[in-house]
Structure 1
Amino acid sequence: MYQDDISSITSDLDTHSIQVIYLSVFFAYNKLGAAFYDSTSAIIYFIPDVEETSRFDITQQILTDIQPSMVICSAKTSDEYYKALNEYLNIQTIDPNNISNNTKLQLVPQAYFHKDTVERTILTLKSLYPLTCDTDDKKRAYISAKMPFNIPNTLSAIGGLLPVIEERCPALSYEFDFLAGNILALRPYDLNALMIVHPFTFRALEIFNPSFHPSIYKANTTNNLREVNSLFAFLKRCVSSIGNRKLRSWCLKPCRSPEILQRRYDVVQFFLDPNQYELLRTLRDHLKPVVNIPSLLRKVFDQNTKISVWKQIIESMRATLRIRMALVPFRMNTYFFDDFCSKLTDDLPRLMNIIETSVRKRKFEIYYLDYCLLLTF
């Protein structure tokens, strides 16, 4: 129905959806709090307060694991921690072939790291709460289930992150809170479930082997590197940009949780069966129209949201429903299929019908306005 619009929008989104990660760290009383913001998902991930070692090993682990584009630190941090942070950044992130990708360290005023101010700001972000949370007490109870308020260093780290998001990721509409369109969720981040791999290991094993793009039009752009003759290049058979980013994150941060690994092995074993080839091909066809929903949700906050954005959301929801229908007969085979089907409730088709009705109504109003203007002139 909307196939002509979808192809053009998808290519435009893939071109501009460049991942940028801002990391904020706050070290005080031998405890470290950290939080980082992913621009592609519009989510703030926080690492609860943890005891830091004398050699700042936790900080080094976070930098190696997250690979941020910018590190934010308080201007009044201790000299010892600042020197260690600067040393880790110089050792791990300097790339002589691509200077634009090097991590930058930015010092911000200590006032941004005030815990009470951060709590009040979090309670004002409407995008984090359902409509039923109409009071501060309800909001505090709702957000406390996801992020406790008894982690002062982590809250301070989030406080240092907010002004950077406001400055570098401006809100799409001033009708809402200044951060509402850019922060869609707060989620914890577990360092213990991931394996930390040294960058030299990736290069030695040829897991990643980036090379400059041959096109002269991409020579001076941020995405001028591409993967060629590497393990990741051979494994990459994803049909969507979301899948490519997910596979890359799995390669960069290998999981060491036996439960999660077993679930992935079960899915791989299921699709290795030759009898499931038709199902695999069907799922690949349904995954093609699915795009990065968080980036579209950020545009929804704009008062003048284009109809094409809503059409793309509808197409992604429709493809997701097709995937659920294809997996329902096999939901008892693996945990992943059962979990996927159970999370997609009947609210999704109802929501899709509401959006479709609204889009048709708005489209009719636009056509009627054009007709009136044509008669006028």
Structure 2
Amino acid sequence: MFSVGTIPGGTPQSPEPGAASASFPSLAPVSGRGEAEEEEDNEQEPAEIYLCALWTSGYLGIAYYDTSDSTIHFMPDAPDHESLKLLQRVLDEINPRSVVTSAKQDENMTRFLGKLASQEHREPKRPEIVFLPSVDFGLEISKQRLLAGNYSFIPDSMTTTEKILFLSSIIPFDCLLTVRALGGLLKFLGRRRIGVELEDYNVSVPILGFKKFVLTHLVSIDQDTYSVLQIFKSESHPSVYKVASGLKEGLSLFGILNRCHCKWGQKLLRLWFTRPTHDLGELNSRLDVIQFFLLPQNLDMAQMLHRLLGHIKNVPLILKRMKLSHTKVSDWQVLYKFLSEEKLHYRSARTKELDALLGDLHCDIRDQETLLMYQLQCQVLARAAVLTRVLDLASRLDVLLALASAARDYGYSRPRYSPQLLGVRILNGRHPLMELCARTFVPNSAECGGDKGRIKVITGPNSSGKSIYLKQVGLITFMALVGSFVPAEEAEIGAVDAIFTRIHSCESISLGLSTFMTDLNQVAKAVNNATKQSLVLIDEFGKGTNTVDGLALLAAVLRHWLALGPMCPHIFVATNFLSLVQLQLLPQGPLVQYLTMETCEDGDDLVFFYQVCEGIANASHASYTAAQAGLPGNLIARGKEVSDLIRSGKPIKPVKELLKEKQMENCQTLVDKFLKLDLEDPSLDLDIFMSQEVLPAATGIL
């Protein structure tokens, strides 16, 4: 059809002087969403990951398919222990929907998969285990399956030999387990027809690229730590229209730092959060960019770039539709608007007249349009790798701009990294979430490095800030290992290789798990896996069992680590077991440092300063905390009395007033029974009444 186009401005206009605000965009979502984006949101299915894993002779081969970008990721053959800790780490990181493996497996792998399938309380939901015949994982058949694949990113002009050379530059064919895993994954995708279930059988599963999946330099953090530190926190979505997902991000570290303007930036930020690293080159490169955008002279440029990144849409989904010949007009509009020239199209009386005169050419025009669209689609698909690279760079820029925005608004500072420091040093650190909720927040410092004070025992009254302090240390360390500025005046991070926590979370309670069993499981992870470069945070261990047993286990765990000497992890343990100190259950030495939360008694009141200092608490002040919680005074007084009797080893006797009141109740009950007796009733047996009613009641009265 005919139309006339003009270019009113030529190029996009730059922001007018003074138009930029004094701060980065707020946490509010970007407005002005177009119809194409709304349609994309409605049609895009949730991303699913299908993983294929093989373990043989101590080596692990892994490959997985991500439906969000139709890309296959692979990890070169890597050594893994018989307990398959590396495989568990990969599972925790990517959360696959299905795990594909060979029906002919080693006993260790079989046991691991059986345990994985039986985890009823696993969050997110445990994956489906799929066994394929071992012949599907043959080395030669897997190579042939890889080379025979129909990949849109490979130009059709390539010969067979050129295609083999091209794929050899991407896929490590010398890693035999990885090649077999890739072959088994392709077999599974073809059998399940992932994403093309309703298409003809001549339509293959779209594969838009191969990417290497690397776990080197990563810091080990388990799902419990992510939960209790509130790095991620899912909440039920309040909107009835969000029934598909049903969850939204609550108050969490990810929630306050996620200021990304495009979905792929959000996805990359989540990936950085799930893959913290101690690669100093990568971390410093991220911090350099953040610091550059924090300079006042670069604020306008940062705002403009962040605003333009909102035009970045789901390019992999569009390429997938092209591969399946499902491209829509809105998809071409999205590609056209990476950078819009603001062309104006209109129709006039003359164009309508030409439509009426030349209307018979409509079919020919449509044929030509279809041919041109097909040729253009082939050209775009041939350059899919370039578009994907541009998307990766734009996503990275979006994340760094988001982190710079948060650092500016919240007053974060740049951390330093020291490979020689085996621990962390934090000057006046703040809890990034608590400081947003409290009117005033008291900063605290922390230092763990060298051979002194590797185990810090923190005592203090209830509600004095011990747990917040532990979480604060963990969150600041985590943020530094992501490459973000941190809420502290100064922070120096050493070679931290893992973060372990034993802090109660609401999730463990809601699942109905035993509190003490959760304690043991989490501490067991730290005991079995922590190294001298690990950071271990323990809060109120042994709280869910008998006091003596809990105290004994806590002392045993700490003595176990103390016996390691210089190989002891860096441990922060908060406890109300004052007997741990009073009974001297820990050996004296430079490895143990005692800290407490500073307080001051003002008459009957207890003033909390929320400040960490050296020393030992002399009491838990539970009665004061109970009074603040609103318990009646007589109950608090009785609690103090019982506590004093226990400490002095004296017997606990019931309260006289309560005893008299109970006696009067028993007497009145017995009198009421007597008055109800009918002495003229011939069936009444007074002997039975005396033996069954009067005598038992008399023991309670006397």
Question: Which runs of structure 2 are paired with 1:1-377 in the superposition (5 Å)?
Answer: 7-15=34-42, 16-88=44-116, 90=118, 94-95=122-123, 101-127=125-151, 129-131=153-155, 134-166=158-190, 167=192, 168-170=194-196, 178-179=204-205, 182-219=206-243, 221=244, 223-303=245-325, 305-316=327-338, 318=339, 368-369=362-363
Assess if the C-alpha contact under 8 Å between 1:46 and 1:186 holds in 2.
yes
Structure 1 residues 128 and 120, CA gap change in structure 2 (3 angstroms): farther
Given the two structures, how large is their TM-score scaled by the length of structure 1?
Answer: 0.75
In structure 2, the partner of 1:336 is none
In structure 1, the partner of 2:558 is none
Structure 1 residues 133 and 62, CA gap change in structure 2 (3 angstroms): farther
Assess if the C-alpha contact under 8 Å between 1:172 and 1:299 holds in 2.
no
Once the two structures are superposed, what CA deviation does each residue of 1:322-352 show, in whole Å capped at 9, x if it has no partner? xxxxxxxxxxxxxxxxxxxxxxxxxxxxxxx
Take 2:197 and 2:281, find their aligned partners in 1: how far apart are those partners?
A: 39
Question: Which SS does the other structure have where 1:303 is aligned?
Answer: coil
- How many residues of Structure 1 are paired with residues of Structure 2 in the alignment? 317
Take 1:215 and 1:176, find their aligned partners in 2: how far apart are those partners?
A: 41
More relative contact order, 1 or 2 (CA 8 Å, 6+ apart): 1
Once the two structures are superposed, what CA deviation does each residue of 1:84-110 show, in whole Å capped at 9, x if it has no partner? 133246559713xx7xx4322222222
Given the two structures, how large is their TM-score scaled by the length of structure 2?
Answer: 0.42
- Using the TM superposition, give the Cα deviation of residue 214 of structure 1 relative to its aligned residue in structure 2, in angstroms: 1.8
Structure 1 residues 304 and 71, CA gap change in structure 2 (3 angstroms): closer
Question: Which SS does the other structure have where 2:299 is aligned?
Answer: helix
Assess if the C-alpha contact under 8 Å between 1:21 and 1:68 holds in 2.
yes
Amino acid at match of 2:266: N
Question: Which SS does the other structure have where 2:288 is aligned?
Answer: helix
Assess if the C-alpha contact under 8 Å between 1:26 and 1:34 holds in 2.
yes
- Using the TM superposition, give the Cα deviation of residue 123 of structure 1 relative to its aligned residue in structure 2, in angstroms: 1.8
- Mean Cα deviation higher: 157-166 or 271-280: 157-166
Amino acid at match of 1:9: A
- Using the TM superposition, give the Cα deviation of residue 128 of structure 1 relative to its aligned residue in structure 2, in angstroms: 5.6
Sequence identity, in percent? 26
Amino acid at match of 1:94: R
Assess if the C-alpha contact under 8 Å between 1:60 and 1:88 holds in 2.
no
Structure 1 residues 178 and 278, CA gap change in structure 2 (3 angstroms): same
For structure 2, list consecutive stretches of 5 or more residues without a partner in the other structure.
6-32, 342-357, 367-702
Assess if the C-alpha contact under 8 Å between 2:146 and 2:183 holds in 1.
no
Take 2:95 and 2:121, find their aligned partners in 1: how far apart are those partners?
A: 8
In structure 1, the partner of 2:425 is none
Amino acid at match of 2:50: Y
Once the two structures are superposed, what CA deviation does each residue of 1:226-259 show, in whole Å capped at 9, x if it has no partner? 1111111111111111111111111111122111
Assess if the C-alpha contact under 8 Å between 1:171 and 1:178 holds in 2.
no
Structure 1 residues 143 and 184, CA gap change in structure 2 (3 angstroms): same
Take 1:153 and 1:249, find their aligned partners in 2: how far apart are those partners?
A: 26
Amino acid at match of 1:144: S
Assess if the C-alpha contact under 8 Å between 2:153 and 2:208 holds in 1.
no
Amino acid at match of 1:14: D
Amino acid at match of 1:296: I
Take 1:159 and 1:146, find their aligned partners in 2: how far apart are those partners?
A: 15
Amino acid at match of 1:24: C
Assess if the C-alpha contact under 8 Å between 2:50 and 2:64 holds in 1.
yes
Question: Which SS does the other structure have where 1:149 is aligned?
Answer: coil
In structure 2, the partner of 1:375 is none
Take 1:21 and 1:12, find their aligned partners in 2: how far apart are those partners?
A: 23
Once the two structures are superposed, what CA deviation does each residue of 1:281-309 show, in whole Å capped at 9, x if it has no partner? 11122111111211110111233532322
For structure 1, list consecutive stretches of 5 or more residues without a partner in the other structure.
322-363, 373-377
Assess if the C-alpha contact under 8 Å between 1:172 and 1:302 holds in 2.
no
Q: Give the root-mean-square deviation of aligned CA atoms.
A: 3.1
Amino acid at match of 1:59: L
Question: Which SS does the other structure have where 1:277 is aligned?
Answer: helix
Once the two structures are superposed, what CA deviation does each residue of 1:154-196 show, in whole Å capped at 9, x if it has no partner? 11111221233332222897597613xx211112111113223
Question: Which SS does the other structure have where 1:296 is aligned?
Answer: helix
- Pair member with larger Rg: 2
Take 1:131 and 1:310, find their aligned partners in 2: how far apart are those partners?
A: 21
Structure 1 residues 303 and 129, CA gap change in structure 2 (3 angstroms): closer
- Mean Cα deviation higher: 278-287 or 110-119: 110-119
Q: More strand by proportion, 1 or 2?
A: 2
